[in-house]
Amino acid sequence: MTIKTASDRPTMIEFREVQKYYGDYHALRGISAEIRAGEFFSLLGPSGCGKTTLLRTIAGFEDISSGAVLIDGKDMSNVPANKRPTNMVFQSYAIFPHLTVAENVGFGLRRDPRSSAEKARAVEEALELVGLKGYGPRAAHAMSGGQRQRVALARALILKPKVLLLDEPMSALDKKIREQMQVELIKLQRELGITFVLVTHDQEEALVMSDRIAVMFDGEIAQLADPETLYRHPNSRRVANFIGVMNFLPARVTAESDSHVALEVPGLGPLEVTPDQVAAQTSGGEATVGFRPETLTLLYEGQTASDREAPGVIDEVVYYGDMTYYDIRLDGVSAPVRISMRNVFGRPVLDVGSRIRVAWSPGALVLFR
Amino acid sequence: MKSPGLRLFAFAYLIFLYAPIVLLPIFAFNSGTIIAFPLKGFTLHWFDQLFSNATLGQALRNSLIIAVSTAIFATTLGIFAARASTRYRFPGKPGIMGLIMLPLVLPEIIVAVSLLIVLLGIGVPLSIFTVILGHVLAATPYAIAVLNAAFSSLDKSLEEAAYDLGETKWSTFRLITLPLVLPGIVSSMLMAFTISLDEFIIAFFLAGEQVTLPTYIFSQLRFPKQIPMIMALGTCLVIASIVLLTIAEYARRRGIAKTGAKDTGGFL
Amino acid sequence: MSASPWKRLKQSEAFNGYVMVSPTLIYAILMLAAPLGMIVAYSFFKDGYLEVIHEFTFENYIQAWTDPIFQAILFRSVLVSMLVTLVTVVLAFPIAYFISFVVPAQKKSLWLFLITIPFWTSYLIRVFQWKVILNYNGVINSILTGLGIVDQPLQMLNSVGAITVTLAHAYAPFAILPIFVSLEKIDRSFLEAGRDLGESPFMTFWRVTLPLAMPGVVGAVMIVFIPTIGDYVTPELIGGGKLPMVANMIQQNMLKIDNKPLGSAIAVSSMLVVAVIALVFLFLNRRFLRGPK
Ligand SMILES: Nc1ncnc2c1ncn2[C@@H]1O[C@H](COP(=O)(O)OP(=O)(O)OP(=O)(O)O)[C@@H](O)[C@H]1O
Ligand SMILES: [Mg+2]
């Protein structure tokens, strides 16, 4: 995957030290970030971390306690939600149940000076855009979940907002339709070139769809980066754990220079990493190395590693059809590490208790300090 | 069939509930002048007497004015309170709502007597208007109960969506909120109307020289000669309230069908 | 950049809530709280011949509470209210249970509709009908003598029993609905769990259903007990004026005798008695009312 966003695009949304209190509860703790024009941006984090709250400060539904939100260079402090150049797709879709599909989609055009024929055409175009051509006269409340989402999208897009806000739009859909809608949303965003800001707690969804992702914990942005950087170079163990699976082993720093850090890791032995493999987190204390399950390879009889090897015993086998996960106890380490192996025809799945060797490479490690 | 004992009890209970009402038309069409068995013969005389009764006409007019005003004012006040209680959090809310809902349990005589003292104290002459003041107070809690249900089943994001699409707070209320809670508003009005039409004590204390339907009925119950006519009147009232309730139930179901919501059962 | 204090206040949820509730609240204060305060004040005033003398005194309370007639009336009122509450709630519970647990879901609305219709017909006429039913030559006596079960008509009117039956009829839906609501809230899997753990149906009812339904029962008791004590019509029509309750006494003092301070003292006294009984009842049932609402 390549990085899709050119960093010279202008800024569309800017958060400046945004703080939000609900009574005594500190929901947003000084958010500063920029979202660029035309980018697909995601707010990712566990439940209650403040994603929705942050999204609603863009829409204008939530006034902030201090700081500022700027859209297209303008401070939004005194601009109410109905005057902002943003539109929202709600988690529940908020389809007006007493109106038809066409009336829902055309709702925002009520104050539009165009003739009713032109408005009807705009509605028809919007419906076509989301794949609901001809559904206009239907009762909105009789639509299925996926169709409702399309209606909500068309209704928000018809006003040609600068920013489209989506709050967990996929969470109410079942898996199949969800995956289909993800692809359609990406296409739609590329076609329209509008800035999309998506809230999700599903890391896979964020990785698949976004140009950049802000990972949030406890009202703060822990890391803001493109998907590949987030996956390869998480800046903390917490981010690493939230995005995919990562194995951790304790490490001891033996030597350090400008060009490399030398480590002693039980189970892996002595090794060196380059400074760009060191996570920016400087908490001091214990050092830890982390590595993704797919960066390790299980060696079968007769195979040799191109880089380095470590011996161990299989502790647990989880078979997934196309993949098998092995939990392996490396010699000299008590906690197992997880390895994922693509299943290849003719290669057997190994049993629990087998002694095996594992191939690994120091270049795939991340060092947390 | 499950629980035959309970079923039997339920039907016996229905007979207990309906006995007084079923007897109304029986005596309303009975030509005997005393209300007793055996029945004499069939007559429409009591209905004739009913429809040509001028005082009764006046009482009905007064009661309708009072009931319609009560329905409008109690529902309006109910909308404000139900909206506040379902949408906003504010300190002292339980106390405030408690005071507003108090007439639900307070004996009506207490409401009537205390209002009477104040009104006489500040020199407001007793009239239909003072009855309306009391009835609005008594009917508002019922309106709130009905409207609370309507407002709390309304998804907050519907209003936010309309606001987000460029409507003002007020036009959002008019285009989204109002149509969606309309069945609740209709129920609330019908309920307040019926409560007011039937309310006796407050009217008895606050109507002064004016006569309302219940105070007229009460005054006539002392005269055995008038009872058959009251039976005819009761029959008309029962029919009217069944028609009203059926309309209310129909409106409620229509509202549910129109918005595709789930039927959670109506009435209180 | 930061908003002014006034703007911040205007945007705060609490402020908007107060604004929203204010029309109704102001009405309730003017028409309910102030008059109730007034009646308390009056109960401490002196009764002049044609006017009320604004001079603090306990005289009215002393006069009321030492009056054997008031004592008897208050006692009767409390007794009747308790009887009515008992009868109403005991009869209502099986009905609520029947609608909630036996009646199929799509017929529940119809049953509730059937239960509420009588409530929407003229209260006065409904009360009067009980006179027709219980009269010396009324419905019941006609049937009983007609069938030869008794030879002399029974004297049923003008009794506490007649008043109780009439009021129990009048307040039936008030008792059924809260109990029904709390029964509906019971998670049916609790009951299955009870049965699954080897409880008999009766023990399941006793140990699971009833405690969970108690909030509704307590609500029903409150909503029946408090207003019945102030009922004016039934003692007048069914009791034949011979068995007055506090409401009749208040009306006497307020309108006929025109002794407003004494009437106020009687009203305040009886409300205090009701409040104390209600609070004691709530206190005795406090363990059922705790927990998430
Ligand atoms: N109106 C409110 N009043 C008080 N606290 C609130 C309010 N809205 C949100 N919160 C609190 O603020 C925190 C952040 O809420 P928010 O809805 O932004 O979370 P989220 O990240 O979107 O989580 P989820 O995935 O559950 O939707 C939560 O702990 C929530 O309880
Ligand atoms: Mg959320």
What residues pair up with A14 in beta bridges, in sequence order?
A34, A70
- How many angstroms from the chain centroid is the CA of residue C132? 24
Does A211 lie in the same domain as A291?
Answer: no
- Report the alpha-carbon distance of residue C277 to residue C269 in Å, rounded: 12
Specify whether A74 is located in the same domain as A186.
yes
Q: Do C32 and B35 touch (CB under 8 A)?
A: no
Q: Is A86 in the pocket of ligand 1 (CB under 6 A)?
A: no
Confidence tier at A2 by pLDDT (50, 70, 90): very low
Residue nearest ligand 1's atom 17 by CA: A52
Q: Are residues A313 and A362 in the same domain?
A: yes
Q: Which amino acid is at A103?
A: E
CA distance readout (Å), A176 to A132, A133, A144, A170, A172: 18, 22, 14, 11, 12
Whether pTM exceeds 0.95 = no
In a shared domain, residues A220 and A286:
no
Q: Which CATH architecture has domain C62-289?
A: Orthogonal Bundle (1.10)
Burial class from Cβ neighbours inside 10 Å (0-12, 13-18, 19+) for residue A292 reads buried
Residues A310, A204 within the same domain: no
CA distance C177 to C183: 10
pLDDT at A349 over 90: no
Closest Cα to atom 20 of ligand 1: A48
Q: Report phi then psi at A40, rounded to 5.
A: -95, 105
Query: A56: Cβ below 6 Å to ligand 1?
Result: no
Q: How far apart are CA A330 and CA B248, in angstroms?
A: 74
Ligand 2 geometric centre to CA of C106 (Å): 36
pLDDT at B259: 66
Among residues 133-172 of chain B, which lie with CB inside 8 Å of chain A? 155, 157-158, 160-168
A281: CATH: 2.40.50.140
pLDDT the model gives residue B265: 45
Asked if A218 and A324 sit in the same domain, the reply is no
Nearest CA to ligand 1 atom 3: A22
- Plot region of A70 (φ>0 → left; ψ -120 to 50 → alpha; else → beta): beta
Residues A78 and A187 in one domain: yes
Looking at chain C, the whole-number percentage of residues with pLDDT higher than 90 is: 33
Q: pLDDT tens digit string along A178-193?
A: 888 899 999 999 999 9
Domain extents in chain C:
62-289
Residue B1 is predicted with a pLDDT of: 45
Closest residue to B265, CB basis, from C109, C121, C172: C109
Chosen from C122, C229, C271 to mutate, greatest number of chain B CBs within 10 A: C122
Could you tell me the distance, in angstroms and rounded to a whole number, from the CA of residue A64 to the centre of ligand 1? 14
In a domain, A5, yes or no: no
C226/B107 Cβ within 8 A: yes
Q: Is A192 in the same domain as A274? A: no
CA distance C134 to C119: 20
Cβ of A49 less than 6 Å from ligand 1: yes
The tens digit of pLDDT for each residue in A287-345 reads 889 999 999 888 887 788 778 888 999 999 998 888 899 999 998 888 889 999 888 88
Residue at which a domain ends, from A239, A273, A308: A239
Count CB-CB contacts under 10 A for residue A223: 24
Q: Domain containing A211 — which CATH number?
A: 3.40.50.300
pLDDT tens-place values along chain B, 268 residues long: 467 888 999 999 999 999 888 888 888 888 877 777 777 788 888 898 888 888 999 999 999 999 999 999 999 999 999 999 998 989 999 999 999 999 988 999 999 999 998 998 888 999 999 999 999 999 999 999 989 988 988 888 999 999 999 999 899 999 999 999 988 898 899 889 989 998 999 999 999 889 999 999 999 988 888 889 999 999 998 898 888 888 877 777 777 676 666 554 444 4
Which atom of ligand 1 is least distant from the CA of A216? 21
Residues A224 and A296 in one domain: no
Measured in degrees and rounded to the nearest 5, phi and psi for residue B54 equal: -70, -40
3-state SS string over C69-105?
Answer: HHHHHHHHHHHHHHHHHHHHHHHHHHHHHHHHHHCCH
Summarize the confidence of residues A219-247 as an average pLDDT: 91
Same domain (yes/no): A220, A326: no
For residue A18, the CA-to-ligand 2 centroid distance in Å is 18
Kindly identify the ligand whose nearest atom is closest to the C-alpha of A47: 1
**B214 token code pair:** 């219940």
Contacts of B17 (CB under 8 A, 6+ apart): C114, C115, C118, C169, C172
Kindly report the protein residue whose alpha carbon is nearest to atom 31 of ligand 1.
A48
pLDDT of residue A6: 56
Q: Is A201 in the pocket of ligand 1 (CB under 6 A)?
A: yes
The total number of structural domains in chain A stands at 2
Residues of A in contact with C11 (CB under 8 A): 63
Determine, yes or no, domain membership for A326: yes
> Considering A223, A239, A255, which residue would you say is the last residue of a domain?
A239
CA–centroid distance, A241 to ligand 2, in Å, is 20
As residues whose CB is below 5 A from the ion ligand 2, the structure lists A 52
Best residue for ligand 1 mutational test, from A49, A166, A171 (most atoms within 8 Å of Cβ): A49
The CB-side HSE value for A7 (13 A sphere, CA atoms) comes to: 3
Instruction: Indicate whether A4 belongs to any domain.
Output: no
- Is B258 in the A-facing interface, judged by CB distances under 8 Å? yes
pLDDT of C200 strictly over 90: no
Give the Cα separation of C94 and A134 in Å (integer): 54
CATH of domain B53-259: 1.10.3720.10
pLDDT tens digit sequence for A90-119:
998 999 999 999 999 999 998 888 888 999
For B220, the token pair is 């006539």
Amino acid of residue C1 = M
Q: Which ligand is nearest to the CA of A218?
A: 1
**Residue of higher predicted confidence among C9 and A176:** A176
Q: Output the pLDDT for position A18.
A: 94
Tell whether A299 and A326 lie within a shared domain. yes
Same domain (yes/no): A161, A275:
no
Report the mean per-residue pLDDT for chain C.
86
Contact A92 B155 (CB under 8 A): yes
**Which residues of chain B neighbour A96 with C-beta distances below 8 Å?**
158, 161-162, 176
Residue A360, domain extent: 245-368
